Structure 1
Amino acid sequence: MTATTPIDRNGGQILIQQLCAHGVKRVFLVPGESYLPCIDALYDHQDTIQAVVCRQEGGAAYMAEATGKLSGEPGICFVTRGPGACNASIGVHTAFQDSTPMILFVGQVGNDFYEREAFQEIDYRQMFGPMTKWVAQIDRTDRIPEYIARAFTVATSGRPGPVVLALPEDVLWGTAAVPDMPRYCRAHSSPSVQDMERMRALIEAAERPLMIVGGSGWTPAAAADLQKFAERFSLPVGVAWRRLECFDQHHPNFVGHVGWSMTEELRARVCDADVLLAVCTRLGEASTEGYSVVQSPQPKQKLIHVYPDANELGRVFLPTQAITADPVGFAQAAADLKPRQPPRWASATQTGHRQYLDSLKPLPSPGSMSLDVAAAHVNVHLPADACVTVGAGNYALYPHRYRQFAGLGTSLAPAVGAMGYGLPAAIAAKLDNRERTVVCYAGDGCFQMNLQELGVAMQHRLGIIILVFNNGIWGTIRAHQEREFPGRTIALGFDNPEFTQIVQAYHGYGEVVADNAEFAPAFERARQFAEKENLPALLEIRYDSDGIAPGSTLTQIRRDALARQASELNQL
């Protein structure tokens, strides 16, 4: 067969055709004249690629990052040069710390204007270098296929992450007769037989083992293989901070969400473990509660650390055994591993699961509206495959504690702790699967960082449910302030708009809830509206700001801090 002779195409046409070749189904963008040929090229691929026009580049980048989390393929975002790139940087930082495959395309001044500080010019290599796996500028039209193929490979290989490619205007307007590259192929790393034999020996010699699962790149088959491995070895399993979807929390081996605000029983289990099997998680600051329950650089537990990037192994924690493997490779190897004797800790695993189930019971909270009660109700009344999204703030601790996540695709949460993430992530989840129930938890401050993306939900008729927790303060920072400077509250309160009127302006449904008895019927009304009208439904939940976290109040935090200060003064 004779290969087709390439025809002349402009850079935008070449680039968008490469996205088609690599299987891209959706791109998120805020249009800009700096990459106009790419926008024009999308016109010819409307049957293949959906172009989702966002209201601000931060929202667009978040949506691309969330898409990368859901699919395991790079989420794609286009923004214009300078200000557009600066706005989008928050999504890139999130993708980097969350290990999410993502590609950001940024318009750039032409090479003939470069290094003159032309209009909106930035050196993106310097700007994005510390927060990407690779950042480059494509300076020749005929090399576009090469750069795109490399971008997909880099974004998904080893520890996944973001790639940024700058697109000079003259390269996009220029033409070349160049062939398309074939679709990229993701490489997987797997442990050796010797690795698995040593790991089995360490586990079987343990008395109190614990497996913590996290990271990105999981597939349904890999998750199922890991679950069977846990069953055969009767291992108690926790998920790393905000990796709530990595293990089915209904499973009898599940013992909880490891990280900030975990239960005392789970904290003790992590601290007392003699063998800790960390599977594809970095065990960052959040999961280890400031490197305390797992100490750096030398953990007191025997640490078996499995991670797809060898550069991460030994970087923060010195492991007893280091295994270079990604989720797919490790799970495939673990699928064939069997214990040589009945595990001695099976009853302890059962106890851990019972303690987890006990933690789902709502804790007491001040006022007539309890976030504990609301979150527990949502857990029971949502379908198992529903996707719950959050941004950052103490409000997110409620779905983290009370929702039993059922596996991949059921949680979108920024491990980096980026505010404003919940709504764009919910939009991405609903675009990914319109039949899936999607609920966004958002604090009143967090929600206002990207509420303009309600326009995307309206335009694409996305029936998402939004729970806005209105306490009129920056709650997480208020808690820190009371802990360190008790009674000296300043610069943390704000007046809020009528959120119900805002969502109504976007043709959605809005209702205020201020009492426990009101929540269940209001949630059902919101859910029915979202499903019937395919438009956003918002519940504004007004509650006592003293209830700052599950089982915790600002009053008690202040009281404890004042008592600590008094004790320190008495010791002087």
Structure 2
Amino acid sequence: MPRSAGHLIVETLTAHDVERVYVVPGESYLDVLDGLHDATVNTVVCRQEGGAGFMALAEGRLTGRPGVAMVTRGPGAANAMIAVHTAWQDATAMVLMVGLVPVDDRGREAFQDFSLEGWFGSTAKRVLTVEDPDRAGDVVAEAFHAAASGRPGPVVVGLPEDVLVKRTDVPAPTPRPLAEPAVSSVQIERIRRLLGAAQKPLIIAGGDGWLGSTGGDLARLAEAAGIPAATDWRAYDAVPHDSPAYAGWLGYGRSDSLARHLDEADVLVFIGCGRSDVLSEGFTAGHGATTILALTDPDATMHSGRIDEFVLTSPRALVSALETDPAALRGDRTDGWMRTLAAEQRRFATPRPETPDSGVDLGEAFAVIQELLPPDRICTYGAGNATLWGHRYLSHHGPGSLVGPRNGAMGLGVPAAVAASLIHPERQTMAVCGDGDLLMNGQELAVAVAQQTNPLVVVVDNGRYGTIVLHQEREYPGRVSGTDLVNPDFAATMRSFGGHGERVEETSEVRGAVERALASGTASLIHLIVDRQTTPPSTAETAEEVERAS
């Protein structure tokens, strides 16, 4: 039966089992919004396109299926660019649908017209436009397939408003199957030989694709083979932290000892990630070891340096192939190397009192948060130094429990927490944000209340862009400028949205505030006031290292 191309698009979303779309409505795609009126898809109305895009990214990260955001042309698409860039560098599947001007108005400086390909061509895997109503469903199906296949990433789909209202009787297409690259027995045997002969091997897990039992299976494999397993920056949930093999993370805020061990390792096994800029200390560390690389990206886009064995496969497929004979990976190696790295990480992750001159002691505050939040919590992060206490002191017990911008984009924490609460309403979600980060997309707190979700947002407030201050003090000592902030009462802002908000100025107040927030049953925010001079915790593992470094 004929219906509009816009309605066909909604049918295609339903056929792809899309449960939610994150939208900022616009007149350029009214017919799609009309199709959503009667659909089973939950239309999550957002307050700004950057927030909608970040929610879609979180959906992709936590489910393994592309998240969907819908925005309007011109300025709306411009606001969504930050999420597209994050999904591109993070290798996370998402689909951004953008309403466009009518076809005949293109290139004539029509109201809010712009070049979809020109803006997104270098930052998305594909840029597609629905030009024919009969192909509207096929274009959307192609977008989903492209976003999730190979190296995951963002795909942008243009929706000209005049094409959307044209009639078609073409049925909605079925989802295209994704290829699962096979691991050859010859490659597995070579990997076994390399690891069996190694004395100091190190597994580094990262990227997306660690859902289900994959992370736990990798941990058990690493334990049986006596290989420490570390993770990439903001992929800390890939390996359960209670595993005897867990060795911590590489990248910003990592322990000094693990950074040294990266250069000591004789065989490095990268699974789902590569030897990237942040992981390798700016392309300087870990380049001398024999390198095994397992990726779904045939171009190894973010990997630097040598590759001795390249397996084009997913984390799940590689772990399954290797776990059939973990003894072959061990050789004559004892557990000493693995135990050393794991013990160092346990010491590094033990909260330490920081005794600031004023305000909240963040070491103690995050120890309380670690204690009170349930083990299956989902943690989301914005960007900046304020997040490092959470990275270090909050543990993860399985994949699908962390969403953070690996490209360092600010403003992701709140929208990601809202999306996580919708995806997993049975689990507690917590966002960790700095005061500079929160107001990048803090308006999405209104969406948390509107959707009746209950994320907890923890805001670390030192009244400045603290990360930039550290760079300024290093490069231009005594000449800090352009980094001071004047902040509102964030707790009062949360209450004005209809949620629970508390301002905390003393460490002794943290426990009660967290308990009340978790018991509130609604979206909540804890505003932590910290000393203006607060800096991230030392990356040294022990007091002896601190003394040695000084």
Alignment partner, residue 556 of structure 1? none
**Residue of 520, 525, 528 corresponding to 1:538:** 525
Equivalent-residue separation in structure 2 for 1:537 and 1:238 (angstroms)? 33
Matching of residue 458 in structure 1 with residue 449 in structure 2: yes
Equivalent-residue separation in structure 1 for 2:324 and 2:447 (angstroms)? 46
**Residue of 165, 183, 193 corresponding to 2:157:** 165
Give the letter for the 2:121 counterpart: G
Q: Alpha-carbon deviation of 1:110?
A: 1.0
Alignment partner, residue 8 of structure 1? 2
Alignment partner, residue 192 of structure 2? 200
- CA pair 451-313 structure 1, distance change in 2 beyond 3 A: closer
How do 1:85-484 residues align onto structure 2 when only pairs under 5 Å count?
A: 85-294=77-286, 299-312=287-300, 316-340=304-328, 342-365=331-354, 366-368=356-358, 369-484=360-475
Give the letter for the 1:551 counterpart: S
Deviations 1:492-520 (A, max 9, x none): 11111111211110111221112221111
Consecutive unaligned residues of structure 1, counting only runs of 5 or more, are: 1-6, 554-563, 565-572
Q: Any conservation in 2 of the 1:15–1:145 contact (CA below 8 Å)?
A: yes
Equivalent-residue separation in structure 2 for 1:361 and 1:261 (angstroms)? 14
Alignment partner, residue 495 of structure 1? 486
Deviations 1:142-172 (A, max 9, x none): 0112111111111111110110000111210
Deviations 1:247-279 (A, max 9, x none): 101111001011122112111111110111111
| Bigger Cα displacement from structure 2, 360-369 vs 251-260 | 360-369
Q: Alpha-carbon deviation of 1:209?
A: 0.6
Q: Alpha-carbon deviation of 1:449?
A: 0.9
Deviations 1:533-563 (A, max 9, x none): xx2211111111222101389xxxxxxxxxx
Equivalent-residue separation in structure 2 for 1:105 and 1:228 (angstroms)? 41
Q: Alpha-carbon deviation of 1:441?
A: 0.6
Matching of residue 514 in structure 1 with residue 505 in structure 2: yes
**Residue of 11, 16, 30 corresponding to 1:17:** 11
| Bigger Cα displacement from structure 2, 440-449 vs 281-290 | 281-290
Q: Alpha-carbon deviation of 1:343?
A: 4.7
Q: Alpha-carbon deviation of 1:186?
A: 2.1
SS of 1:511's partner is strand
Give the letter for the 2:86 counterpart: T
Q: Any conservation in 1 of the 2:414–2:444 contact (CA below 8 Å)?
A: yes
Q: Any conservation in 2 of the 1:214–1:279 contact (CA below 8 Å)?
A: yes
Q: Any conservation in 1 of the 2:276–2:303 contact (CA below 8 Å)?
A: no
Q: TM-score, normalised by structure 1?
A: 0.92
Consecutive unaligned residues of structure 2, counting only runs of 5 or more, are: 541-549
Q: Any conservation in 1 of the 2:89–2:406 contact (CA below 8 Å)?
A: yes
Matching of residue 38 in structure 1 with residue 28 in structure 2: no
SS of 2:97's partner is strand
Q: Alpha-carbon deviation of 1:224?
A: 3.4
Q: Any conservation in 1 of the 2:10–2:32 contact (CA below 8 Å)?
A: yes
SS of 1:311's partner is coil
Q: Alpha-carbon deviation of 1:481?
A: 0.4
Equivalent-residue separation in structure 2 for 1:123 and 1:342 (angstroms)? 57
| Bigger Cα displacement from structure 2, 341-350 vs 444-453 | 341-350
Equivalent-residue separation in structure 2 for 1:434 and 1:261 (angstroms)? 31
| Bigger Cα displacement from structure 2, 226-235 vs 382-391 | 226-235
Give the letter for the 1:351 counterpart: T
SS of 1:131's partner is coil
Q: Between Structure 1 and Structure 2, how many residues are aligned?
A: 538
Equivalent-residue separation in structure 1 for 2:370 and 2:242 (angstroms)? 12
Equivalent-residue separation in structure 2 for 1:310 and 1:343 (angstroms)? 33
Give the letter for the 1:306 counterpart: A
SS of 2:110's partner is coil
SS of 1:500's partner is helix
Deviations 1:11-33 (A, max 9, x none): 11110000001110100000000
Deviations 1:95-141 (A, max 9, x none): 11111110000001111111212111111111101111101111110
| Bigger Cα displacement from structure 2, 178-187 vs 491-500 | 178-187
Give the letter for the 1:99 counterpart: A
Give the letter for the 1:18 counterpart: T
- CA pair 55-552 structure 1, distance change in 2 beyond 3 A: same
| Bigger Cα displacement from structure 2, 513-522 vs 118-127 | 513-522
Q: Alpha-carbon deviation of 1:315?
A: 5.5
SS of 1:539's partner is strand
Q: Any conservation in 2 of the 1:313–1:319 contact (CA below 8 Å)?
A: no
Give the letter for the 1:43 counterpart: H
SS of 2:487's partner is coil
Equivalent-residue separation in structure 1 for 2:317 and 2:539 (angstroms)? 41
Give the letter for the 2:289 counterpart: Q
Equivalent-residue separation in structure 1 for 2:180 and 2:129 (angstroms)? 28
Q: Any conservation in 1 of the 2:372–2:514 contact (CA below 8 Å)?
A: no
Deviations 1:214-261 (A, max 9, x none): 011223133333223212211100010000111101111001011122
Q: Alpha-carbon deviation of 1:364?
A: 4.3
| Bigger Cα displacement from structure 2, 7-16 vs 347-356 | 347-356
Give the letter for the 2:17 counterpart: G
- CA pair 226-536 structure 1, distance change in 2 beyond 3 A: same
Deviations 1:393-442 (A, max 9, x none): 00111111111111112111110111010000000000011121111111
Q: Any conservation in 2 of the 1:24–1:49 contact (CA below 8 Å)?
A: yes
Q: Any conservation in 2 of the 1:313–1:322 contact (CA below 8 Å)?
A: no
| Bigger Cα displacement from structure 2, 80-89 vs 493-502 | 493-502
- CA pair 194-27 structure 1, distance change in 2 beyond 3 A: same
SS of 1:449's partner is helix
Deviations 1:278-314 (A, max 9, x none): 11102321111211222xxxx2111111111111179
SS of 1:278's partner is strand
- CA pair 219-500 structure 1, distance change in 2 beyond 3 A: closer
Give the letter for the 2:525 counterpart: L
Q: Any conservation in 2 of the 1:360–1:376 contact (CA below 8 Å)?
A: no
* Coordinate RMSD, CA, aligned: 1.6
Equivalent-residue separation in structure 2 for 1:540 and 1:397 (angstroms)? 17
Q: Any conservation in 2 of the 1:226–1:334 contact (CA below 8 Å)?
A: no
Q: Any conservation in 1 of the 2:129–2:139 contact (CA below 8 Å)?
A: no
